[in-house]
Amino acid sequence: MWNWQSEKWPQFTYDENKLKELEFQFSKNTGTVLGAFKHVNDEEKAQFIIEILSNEALKTSEIEGEYLDRDSIQSSIKRNLGLSVDKKAVKPAEFGISEMMVDLYRNYSTELTDELLFNWHKMITNGRRDLNEIGKYRTHEDPMQVVSGRLDKPTVHFEAPPSDKMKEEMQQFILWFNEVHTSSTMSPIARAGIAHLYFVCIHPFEDGNGRIGRAIAEKSISLSSGQASLISLSKTIEANKKDYYTSLENNNKNLEITNWLIYFGKTILEAQLETLNLIDFLIEKAKFYDRYKGLMNERQLKVVERLFNAGPNGFDGGLSAINYTRIAKTSASTATRDLKDLVYNNILLKTGDLKSTRYWLNIKL
């Protein structure tokens, strides 16, 4: 028996006491993020929004096994935000997921409706030719199943309600979502966690349910906070994707979902900390340029900017002399002199020797 087959569906239950500490920490983190964000200048705020939305667009797709191009995603995000970008062609998949993330950011406070969900579905299936139903709920007669394993011997992890119940199920879901975010005293973590699980258990679309379900969770968090949440929810989930799928599977048979809400609450807290880390990074970036900008030539500035654009974790494995040569479009000998100068001025930190030498931004996080 799946949860939706219960006579009490969709009356989810949970132990509120076990969420109290998570809810307290959520409120505390929300205040900390707001306070930290006040110290970020307007230019860095714009970069922060682009970075968060880009990360979410990339990672929510990677959770589903779709790997997109980061530069194209960032270009699409900027274009959808109305910022100036080059006229480089962007593939439909990158443009579509970026369009949804910007819509989620800009219009988080609007009511959830069929039309909104249909528009999101059209965005994330942009360019697809393998789907029969785009921008509407599924109608096919075959069971909607989540499976893995061999084609001739699949493992069924979940079977969603039949397609002929989609209109009724989604009317009920949308009514619940809008009511719980306007008149209910339900806590933010419970709202977001139930919204995500409830939606993916209905599985109303032919494809794209995971991405839309995570967007719904972020919309819920934003509504609870009274502003666009801008947290790295999908990035945090993707880092431990197996735990995510296991938690979903462990909570799709019963309506008592305390364990799911504990898992999801901890994930939200981790995502908030990731956001704080990025804000700290941007604040340190501003301080960094105040200290060192006058000490760098154009080549060095170009490479340092690329390092910052790579985010708080920098280049995977660090910056090499070969990387420097390619980014700065210069000779090996000039790159060696530039790097030596950057290390001397404490702009970069050096690790390793010979071919293993790598360079890192000298910032404190």
Q: Which of 180, 194, 184 is nearest to 265 (CA)?
A: 194
Q: Which of 121, 181, 196, 203 is catalytic?
A: 203
Confirm whether 203 is a catalytic residue.
Answer: yes
213 is in an annotated binding site: yes
Report the distance separating Cα 230 and Cα 47, nearest Å.
12
245 is in an annotated binding site: yes
Residue 210 near residue 121, CB atoms below 8 Å = no
DSSP for 229-295, please give it: ----HHHHHHHTHHHHHHHHHHTSS-SB-HHHHHHHHHHHHHHHHHHHHHHHHHHHHHHHHHHHGGG
Q: How far is CA 137 from CA 109, 122, 147, 166, in A?
A: 23, 11, 20, 7
358 is in an annotated binding site: no
96 is in an annotated binding site: no
Report the distance separating Cα 44 and Cα 49, nearest Å.
9
Q: Which of 239, 361, 274 is nearest to 309 (CA)?
A: 361
By CB neighbour count within 10 A (0-12 exposed, 13-18 middle, 19+ buried), where does 206 fall? buried
Report the distance separating Cα 181 and Cα 175, nearest Å.
10
345 is in an annotated binding site: no
Element containing residue 361 per DSSP (H, E): strand 358-361
Q: Tell me the sheet residues that pair with 147.
A: 156
Report the distance separating Cα 243 and Cα 250, nearest Å.
10
- Positive or negative, the CA dihedral 344, 289, 273, 209 is negative
289 is in an annotated binding site: no
Residue 309 near residue 74, CB atoms below 8 Å = no
| Cα separation of the two ends of the chain | 49
Residue 40 near residue 275, CB atoms below 8 Å = no
208 is in an annotated binding site: yes
Report the distance separating Cα 58 and Cα 52, nearest Å.
10
Q: Residues marked as binding for ATP?
A: 207-214, 244-245, 252
Q: Residues marked as binding?
A: 207-214, 244-245, 252
Task: Enumerate the active-site residues.
Answer: 203
